[in-house]
A and B are shown apart, each in its own frame.
Chain A
Amino acid sequence: GESVGLHLPTLSVQEGDNSIINCAYSNSASDYFIWYKQESGKGPQFIIDIRSNMDKRQGQRVTVLLNKTVKHLSLQIAATQPGDSAVYFCADSGGFKTIFGAGTRLFVKA
């Protein structure tokens, strides 16, 4: 069946450093992905998305990279701040049903 998985369950970074969160997917037909951020006690919120006709998309301090050859995407956060501490999910949103990965908890050390 379809699955979207993450390589690391937790990531700890120093404030000011860059963070990289990885995600693997299994459905080679997937054509649309979204990264969500979930802060404590809240529902996930949209951060950035990417379609399969792109391999990179940049937002404010965030960049998503998509490698269709190895079915992998990553979320890069530049100059990580304490407010970035959260759980990050990648999601395969190309089909009728959105499928979420396991999530990575990001800890930012001051």
Chain B
Amino acid sequence: GAGVSQSPSNKVTEKGKDVELRCDPISGHTALYWYRQSLGQGLEFLIYFQGNSAPDKSGLPSDRFSAERTGGSVSTLTIQRTQQEDSAVYLCASSTLNTGELFFGEGSRLTVL
């Protein structure tokens, strides 16, 4: 497909388990963002990758959260020892350097029981 692809679309897990969320950006997009959106809330910035530069991790809420981007393409957001407050929709977006427009995936809805 031509858009940003995220998987899984829904994930239910038990408190304390680790989860991995995947984002496949638009081909050729050098920038990749992860945002978190709690129910009825705005977009909380988590992490930003741009090309080969060191990622901006300033939005990660705790050391249980980490993300990597392999080969400048696919990214994985990992949440260790999940807590109930981690329940949210995790949105990934990508963009090019030439435009500020972000192209979003449909998100991964995480529910921690």
Contact = CB atoms under 8 A, between A and B. Distances in A.
Contact of B106 (A32, A42, A94, A97): A42
Given A97-B48, A97-B56, A98-B33, A45 B43 contact: no
Contacts, number: 58
B25 interface: no
Given A43-B91, A43-B107, A97-B48, A89 B42 contact: yes
Contacts of B35: 100
B50 interface: yes
B42 A101 contact: yes
B1 interface: no
B100 A41 contact: no
B79 interface: no
Contacts of B48: 96-97
Interface of A: 32, 34, 36, 41-46, 49, 89, 91, 93-94, 96-103, 105
